[in-house]
Amino acid sequence: MSFIDLKYINIISPRLEKFSKKKDYLYNFRCPYCGDSKKNKNRARGFFFLKKSDMVYKCHNCGVGRTLANFLKDMDVSLHDQYVMERYKSGFTGKGTNTASPKFEFEKPVFSRKEKLLSLKKISELNILHPARDYLANRKTPEKYYSSLYYAEDFNKWAGTTNKFKEGRIVIPLMNQSGKMIGYQGRTLNKNSTLRYITIMLDEDHPKIYGLDKVNKTKTVYVTEGPFDSHFITNAIAMCGSDVDLSCYDYRFIFVFDNEPRNREIVTRIETTIKRGNEVVIFPKGIKEKDLNDMVLAGHDVQNLVDSNVYQGLQATIKLNEWKKV
């Protein structure tokens, strides 16, 4: 454990709202990336904690994860440079460069719910050569979904953030069962962006789910790990975070997690899902692609692939143990 990490956490702590030390190597504060709860200013879901021998950051609201080096780089470039140099001089391996990264701090967005989307163009309205439309076409996203996705040329300005960095993002509205917008995701088109997705909830009483307004609850509902994956199978919703609670919905769910047997977090989530009694999809050994989108790009019939690999209970546990050995 590097004492330097604790030193710089102490330096940055006065700038972190509601910062407190919970115990050794565990610190809690309001997330500076998403702004944390818009309804309750006392809620704090950002954490520094020890992972292996280094301190890392994780927000349990927006899902952002960072090494301490990258967290400092986002918050204060000069402080980040001092941190890296001090680790270097002390014989520790530091990450980061002298290149400044954008600072993602969010103020409370001023939204008029669904009307806010009217200021944006739908993907279906964009020129076929537009980067956002081209991105979806290259991912083979069915065109029928283009009319429910939007594009913000200057996402940060549209979302009302304090960050002045201009960045175009695909806007993915999150609706409740009645079609009311409860939040949104912004997906960057910039391969070098430090945040691929930004999730902002306008109503925190609802879980971060995409597609609730489109599914038939009387039929089986598939649950994928991301909005784009949900476009490739019928009657699907997507979790927009790793801590989504679906227990309030009386649906028959089949969970479709990413095909990453060496990812400990995914394995744990599948184990938890099986213990809860839910059905899960466990892909056969011959499938090497990590998610449904990659499987589509590789030429697989993903609907058939999913439907033929659904397991539950003891059978699911056996299949999971085989899958983990891949």
- Gap between the Cα atoms of 252 and 194, Å rounded: 36
Please, which residues bridge with residue 61 across strands?
none
The two tokens of residue 27 are 């610190």
Q: What is the CA radius of gyration of the chain?
A: 21
Q: The CATH number of 3-89 is which of 2.40.40.20, 3.90.580.10, 3.40.440.10, 3.30.360.10?
A: 3.90.580.10
Percent of all residues in the chain with a pLDDT value above 70, rounded to a whole number = 90
The two tokens of residue 109 are 């967005």
Confidence check: pLDDT of 115 > 50: yes
Whether pTM > 0.75 for this model: the answer is no
299-320 burial code (b ≥16 CB/10 A, e <16): ebebeebbeebbbeeeebbebb
- Gap between the Cα atoms of 293 and 236, Å rounded: 14
Q: Name the residue ranges covered by the structural domains of the chain.
A: 3-89, 106-202, 207-326
pLDDT of residue 95: 41
pLDDT of residue 317: 95
pLDDT by residue (tens digit) across 219-231? 999 999 999 999 9
Task: Give the C-alpha distances (Å, rounded to integers) separating 23 from 47, 60, 182, 305, 319.
Answer: 12, 18, 35, 46, 39
Longest dimension (CA), the chain: 62
Q: Residue 201 is inside which H or E element, if any?
A: strand 197-201
User: Which residues neighbour 167 within 8 Å (Cβ) at sequence distance 6 or greater?
Assistant: 102, 154, 155, 156, 188, 190, 193
pLDDT of residue 2: 67
* Superfamily name with CATH number, domain 106-202: DNA primase, catalytic core, N-terminal domain (3.90.980.10)
- Closest alpha carbon to 52 in 27, 71, 25: 25
User: Does the domain made of 207-326 have the CATH classification 3.40.1360.10?
Assistant: yes
User: How many CB atoms are located within 10 Å of the residue 251 CB?
Assistant: 17
The reply to whether domains 106-202 and 207-326 share a CATH topology is no
* Triad 230, 195, 25: Cα angle to 5°: 110
When the pLDDT of each residue in the chain is averaged and rounded to a whole number, the result is: 86
C-alpha 107 chain-centroid distance: 19
- Gap between the Cα atoms of 159 and 106, Å rounded: 9
Task: Tell me what the mean pLDDT of segment 62-66 comes to.
Answer: 89
Question: What is the four-CA torsion angle of 158, 163, 167, 170, rounded to 10 degrees?
Answer: -50
25-34 burial code (b ≥16 CB/10 A, e <16): eebbbbbbbb
Confidence check: pLDDT of 102 > 80: no
Q: What string of DSSP letters covers 155-174? A: HHHHHT-S------EEEEEE
pLDDT of residue 228: 95
The secondary structure of the chain in percent helix, strand, coil, rounded to multiples of 5, reads 30, 20, 50
pLDDT greater at residue 195 or residue 59:
59
pLDDT by residue (tens digit) across 142-177? 999 999 999 999 988 888 766 667 789 999 999 988
Q: Among 163-167, 259-263, 276-280, which stretch is predicted with the lowest mean pLDDT?
A: 163-167
